[in-house]
Amino acid sequence: MRITILGSAAGGGFPQWNCNCRNCAGQRAGTVRAKARTQSSIFIQPDAGADGLLLNASPDLLQQIKATPALQPGRALRDTAIAAVLLIDGQIDHSTGLFMLRERNGKLPLWCTDAVAQDLSTGNPILRVLEHYCGVDRRRIQPDGTPFEIPGLAPLVFRAIALSSKAAPYSPHRDAPEPGDNIGLLVTDPRSGKTLFYAPGLGEIDAQVFDAMHQADAVMVDGTFWTDDEMQRLGLSRKTAHDIGHLAQSGPGGMVEWLDKLPASTRRLLIHINNTNPILDEDSAERAEVERAGITVCEDGMTLDF
Ligand SMILES: [Zn+2]
Ligand SMILES: [Zn+2]
C-alpha cells in the first residue's frame, strides 16, 4: 500500500492564522527552521496510481488536492482518485473538508461510527447540509476490531478500535463519551502482510491500543503536544493536552516512552502536530530527542510504501 501524508498539523495548521507563538512567528519570519503544514489527513492507496481512501477531510483539503497530483488522475471531465472518505472522529479539523467535496458526481461514500454520524447530523449537521449537494452514502464502522473492506480499495483490510478520548465540543454527548467517538485504524495489505496503525488523536494508551500498536509495522500516532501543559504555559489555554484528548510526548508515560517499547523494526511516526510543539523546529533539542528515539516527524507530502 501507499500512504501519502496530505497534512501533518493539528487543528489550526502551522503556522496558525492568528498565532504568534515562537514557532508560528518564527516560521513566518524565517527565523525558525520549520516547514509549514496543513491540517492532518492522509491518503491510502492499495498501489501507487490506484484510487484510494481519504482518512479525515481537513479544512485544507482543496490545497492538499492541488499539492498532490495522485488525487486528480484526470481520466474524465469530472474525476477524483478519492474512492471514499473515512473519519476517525467528528472534529472540525477532520470533517469540514467534506463540504469541499460537494461537487462530486454521485453520493460520497463516507465511513464513520454511529457516534460520529450522529454528531455530524445534529451538533454540526454537515451530513444534512451535504444532502443538498452530492449527498452522502454513509457506511457504518463498528469500533470493535472486526475486519472490513471498502469497495474500490481491495485488497486492503481495515479494523477500527475505540479510543478513549472525547467527542467534539458540539457533540450532544460531549460529556458522556461513547465508544466510537474516536477510533484508531489498522490497515493491512494482505499481499505484503504489513499493517499501519493510524491514530492522530490518542488520549491514552490502554492494553488494547498498545496491542494494536504492537501488531503494526508502522504506527502513525498523536504528535499534538510535547508537554501536557504546553498550552497553559504559553497562556493560550487553561486546558492540558490530556483534557482535550491528547497524550503528550515527553516525560514519564509520554508517547516517546511508549514508542520505545515497540519492536525495533516498527516504523514510528508522529502526525497531527500542534503549532506550539517544539519538535516542529528542526534545530530544537526536542526534535533531536525524538529523532534519536528513531521517530519520524511527519511532513506534508511524505509518502510511505509497504
Ligand atoms: Zn485534530
Ligand atoms: Zn503558534
- Looking from the CA of 118 toward its CB, the CA atoms found within 13 Å total 14
Q: Considering the entire predicted model, what is its pTM?
A: 0.96
CATH code, domain carrying 140: 3.60.15.10
Q: Which residues surround ligand 2, an ion (CB under 5 A)?
A: 16, 19, 21, 24, 275
Q: Could you count the other beta carbons within 10 Å of the beta carbon of residue 74?
A: 9
pLDDT digits (tens, 9 = 90+) for 149-187: 999 999 999 999 999 878 899 999 988 889 999 999 999
| Domain that includes residue 125, residue range | 2-305
pLDDT at 180: 94
In this predicted model, what pLDDT tens digit does every residue of 258-299 receive, in sequence order?
Answer: 999 999 999 999 999 999 999 999 999 999 999 999 999 999
> What is the Å distance from ligand 2's center to 230 Cα?
11
Q: Are 127 and 117 contacting, i.e. CB atoms less than 8 angstroms apart?
A: yes
Nearest to 162 by CA among 122, 203, 219: 203
Distance CA 98, CA 186 (A): 22
For the chain, how many structural domains are there in total? 1
Distance 217 CA to ligand 2 centre (A): 32
Q: Determine what percent of the chain is predicted with pLDDT higher than 90.
A: 90
Give DSSP secondary structure letters for 12-80: TTBTTTT--SHHHHHHHHT-S----BPBPEEEEESSTTS-EEEES--TTHHHHHHH-GGG----SSS--
Question: From the CA of 11, how far away is ligand 2's center (Å)?
Answer: 11
Side chain identity at residue 206, one-letter code: D
Cα of 37 vs centre of ligand 1, distance in Å, is: 13
